[in-house]
A and B are shown apart, each in its own frame.
Chain A
Amino acid sequence: MYRFVHVLCLVLMAAFLGGCSAGESNVAQGNRDGILHFGNGSEPQGLDPHVVTGVPESKIIDALFEGLTRKNPWTLEPEPGAAASWEFSDDRRVITFHMQPEGRWSNGDPVTAHDFVWSWRRALDPAMGNLYAYMLYPVENAEAYATGKIDDPALVGVRALDDMTLEVTLNAPTPYFLQLMDHYSSYAVHRETVERFGKATDRFTRWTRVGNIVTNGPFQLQNWELNRRIVVERNPHYWDNDAVYLNGIVFYPTENIVSEERMFRVHQLHYTADVPLNKIPAYRKMADTPFVEAPYLGTYFYLLNTERPPLDDVRVRKALSLAVDREALTRNVLYGSNNPAYAITPPGTLGYQPPQLFTHDPEEARRLLAEAGYPGGDGWPGLELIYNTSESHRKIAVALQQMWKDALNITVTLSNQEWKVYLDSVSQMNFQVARRGWIGDYVDPNNFLDLYITDGGNNNTGFSDPVYDELILQRAPRAATQEARFALFHEAETRLMEQMPILPIYTYASKHLVHPSVKGLPPNLMDFVNVKYIHLEDVPLTEFELE
């Protein structure tokens, strides 16, 4: 008995230690073989472009599939994808796409206009439960079909004139429509494959598994180990295969950003999905730093519930906003990696500049608060701020809590909530102040400003202004030129910030660690990765010395 236990222990220990020698690092091996090791943030929900939502999913799906266009990572201008060329009608309501003559699925089948027609109908089918169906709403009758108001998919404004020609009819000229063509909700899926494993609208099918899935992008699925890695390899049938440098990409579900940073430091990753805040100063100081940051199309702000006192008084809302020292916050708490925000739209979206109506002004904040009936904080009824559990949300809330106390002599209590509880509170408007962020789906001010139309699904503040609604819903879409349109947006956003249903805090920034051997992966406003442009240089691996 004892001997048996003894032997068992030895065997287990041997298995456990398993030859303890350090092999070649992922990065060195990857540089040699043309394989990118990519920290991707989390395990994707799935790989069906019409089912999933989220950034990690988009990175993998963009490697496997291809929409009609694909953005240039430097300029964000659309370049040919599954479509080789396209032209607009004179009223800019009809777009005709000409498919790539050599477009092929990974099984060799040609990619046709019919594939897109079938796929878009699938993406819009209410039975699909596609959370991103609204990305196709600019298409004629798309919304009516997706919400079940019409049953006939043939009425949706997408038609195949022949195998190689796709005609899309829009409700109205939509300046940002081409951008949507490389969002995964508009991608084509391989009909035969989908139908082999179930109904077109089934969520519970096996068609996206290794060996089953057929894709039209630069890569095809090679291996998928849950919570461990997803490996994609070169797709030899891809029409532009010659332009692709990488032989493959390994995506890691790096949920814990602190671990991810450590993996990067020991050359297990070429690229990280994020960087821990505390590590930023040390990486900044490094010569030839791998730290890459860029403004990101998103705004971090607080929702102010305009239906509940004391926030039903615009002067209180303004006082809160003016008392916040955004410069000090971004400099000291966020280590200078984000810019202060004074409006909902991030600056520089296609040249649109949001209005800035105020700055940090504690004097004026005190005056407004006194005017609202709380001079020097007297009679302040208290206020609760909710945020979902996260280190950075907590830090920001703690800093603001103290700024309000110092400037206005008022107490604000903090309350963190578990994610789903928080979502529930926000959607039920069961809060006074709530942390919120919004990331644009496409580069256009409309993507931010249409949040605050009356009863908008993502309004969540009770804000309602008929003039604002008219500007956003009626006048801006009919503007003759982009300048005129932006002027209308500017007018609307000025109205919004005068009434301050939200308290903008900062503009998001994308933050990554990128190994020096990686080229062609520039930072951009959309944090968009175009795998076609990435190549690896065989640079000597040096240690990343953090102070």
Chain B
Amino acid sequence: MWRFIAGRLLQAIPVILAVITVTFFLVRVAPGGPFDSEKAVIPEVKAALEAQYRLDLPLGQQYLAYLQDLARGELGPSFKYPGRSVNELIAAGLPATAELGAYALLVAVVLGGLAGVVASLKPNSAQDYIPMSVAMIGICMPTFLLGPLLVLVFGIHLEWLPVAGWGDIPGDKILPSLTLGAAYAAYIARLSRAGMLEVMSQDYIRTARAKGLPEWQVVTRHALRGGLIPVVAFLGPAFAGLLAGSFVVETIFQIPGLGRFYVQAAFNRDYTMILGTTVFLSTLIVLFNLLSDILAAWLNPRLRAQYGEA
């Protein structure tokens, strides 16, 4: 097992390096530069700005310089926010986004997993259709729609919860977490139902039933493990996606998170910020994919045995 993890961590280095390299050159090929603005920029001013940010150097040299900085943990200065380093911006945005992502994931796993498992126990009955229909509506409901709807109902009409903010007014974290978690809950509900159904027809479940175990023990002891494998495969990328995809929710609820920086950096052609957030995010993606693979292995006894031996 440890060798498996160590091997995967080693593999992460070329992955992240490849992401950096591709991104570094991609952003520079994209039309429009960081200093283009609606009013024409005087050539002398543009030259001075490019010199301040090393953009006047040959591309290869810029790339090497960037890697050197990166090796020291420096992500460079932001172009859009002069006087701020990318490290600082990420540090400023991360807490809110991570917290939001954690709550959303909690909402997603608890609600989605529960709905999916419950539905799978009595397929093609009301116990199946009702949670699954709710889940389907959740999938259809894009975040940019669900967020404002929740705000209108709970914020404006009922006046139960704040309409915006993060940690300013008590209860202002509820609506964003629900909004972001809902779509993922719907996915998890569908995937866990399918996974459970798949497992419930396997031989070892029949064996367990034949041994006379009560149904709930069959589910919790035996079925859940295998049934949740597809969910776990989905969760790895989902969590990283949650961080990147929190942009819409952060904008709707005015949350000072990383998602806004990540998306705006691309719009602003803030090269260092795009690279910095991408490096950060790709590290997370690699880690979470690894984590979800480990979890999948743990849930799957045969795979576990294999990795254990290796």
Contact = CB atoms under 8 A, between A and B. Distances in A.
Chain A directly contacts chain B within the complex, with at least one CB pair under 8 Å: yes
Interface of A: 9, 12, 16-23, 43, 45-46, 48, 51-53, 126-131, 133-134, 146-148, 203-209, 225-228, 252-256, 258-259, 262-263, 265-266, 268, 418-421, 423-425, 427, 437, 457-458
A447 to B, nearest CB: 11
The dominant DSSP class at the A interface is loop
7 contacts: A18-B170, A126-B47, A129-B48, A146-B44, A228-B254, A266-B163, A420-B30
A470 B164 CA distance: 54
B256 A227 contact: yes
A21 B267 CA distance: 38
Interface stretch (B32-40, B185-193, B296-304): B32-40
Contact of A23 (B85, B89, B166, B169): B169
Contact of A45 (B82, B163, B269): B82
B254 A263 contact: yes
A147 B45 CA distance: 8
A457 B42 contact: yes
Interface string B188-224: 0000000000000000000000000000000000000
Between B160, B166, B169, B269, the greatest number of chain A beta carbons within 10 A of the residue's beta carbon is seen for: B169
A134 B165 CA distance: 39
A227 B166 CA distance: 11
Contacts of B31: 420-421, 424-425
B159 A204 contact: no
Given A203-B52, A203-B83, A204-B82, A256 B170 contact: no
Given A22-B162, A252-B254, A420-B269, 7 more contacts: A48-B83, A146-B45, A208-B83, A227-B260, A228-B254, A420-B36, A423-B32
Contacts of A127: 48, 51-52
Contacts of B166: 228
B155 A262 contact: yes
Contacts of B253: 259
Contacts, number: 175
A23 B254 contact: no
A52 B169 CA distance: 31
Contacts of B13: none
A126 B103 CA distance: 49
Contact of B36 (A48, A207, A424): A424
List the 9 closest pairs (A to B, CB-CB), nearest first.
A420-B32, A457-B40, A227-B256, A129-B49, A228-B256, A203-B82, A129-B48, A424-B31, A20-B171
Nearest to B260: A227
Nearest to B34: A420
A134 B41 CA distance: 10
A262 B148 CA distance: 10
A427 B40 contact: yes
B155 A20 contact: no
Contacts of A206: 83
B163 A268 contact: yes
B92 interface: yes
A423 B256 contact: no
A347 B281 CA distance: 51
A45 B83 CA distance: 9
Interface residues of B, number: 64
B286 interface: no
Nearest to B40: A457
Interface in B231-265: 251-257, 260-261
Nearest to B258: A227
A129 B252 contact: no
A68 to B, nearest CB: 24
A256 B129 CA distance: 37
Contacts of B46: 129
Contacts of A19: 170-171
B157 to A, nearest CB: 11
B42 A225 contact: no
B36 A12 contact: no
B106 interface: yes
A228 to B, nearest CB: 4
A227 B106 contact: no
B33 to A, nearest CB: 8
Given A16-B103, A20-B161, A225-B256, A259 B251 contact: yes
B80 A45 contact: yes
Contacts of A128: 48
B131 interface: no
A51 B267 contact: no
Interface in B145-182: 148, 151, 155-156, 159-166, 169-171, 173-174, 177
B267 to A, nearest CB: 6
B106 to A, nearest CB: 6
B81 A259 contact: no
A263 B52 contact: no
A423 B163 contact: no
A266 B152 CA distance: 11
Contacts of A148: 44
Given A256-B252, A420-B31, A423-B38, A129 B52 contact: yes
A256 B254 contact: yes
B53 to A, nearest CB: 8
B77 interface: yes
Contacts of A225: 92, 256
Contacts of B174: 16-17, 20
A268 B33 CA distance: 37
A203 B48 CA distance: 11
Contacts of B171: 17-22
B164 A46 contact: no
B254 A9 contact: no
A18 B83 CA distance: 35
Interface string B83-97: 111000100110000
B110 interface: yes
A52 B161 CA distance: 36
Given A16-B173, A457-B40, A458-B40, A255 B251 contact: yes
A462 to B, nearest CB: 15
Contact of B45 (A21, A23, A130, A266): A130
A169 B83 CA distance: 33
B281 to A, nearest CB: 18
Contacts of B269: 420
Interface string B51-81: 1100000000000000000000000010011
A127 B31 CA distance: 25
Given A19-B170, A23-B169, A253-B254, A418 B267 contact: yes
Contacts of A420: 30-33, 36, 267-269
Nearest to A423: B36
Interface in B17-36: 30-33, 35-36
A419 B39 CA distance: 13
Contact of A48 (B51, B82, B155): B82
A424 B160 CA distance: 46
Contacts of B81: 43, 45-46
A203 B82 CA distance: 6
B180 to A, nearest CB: 13
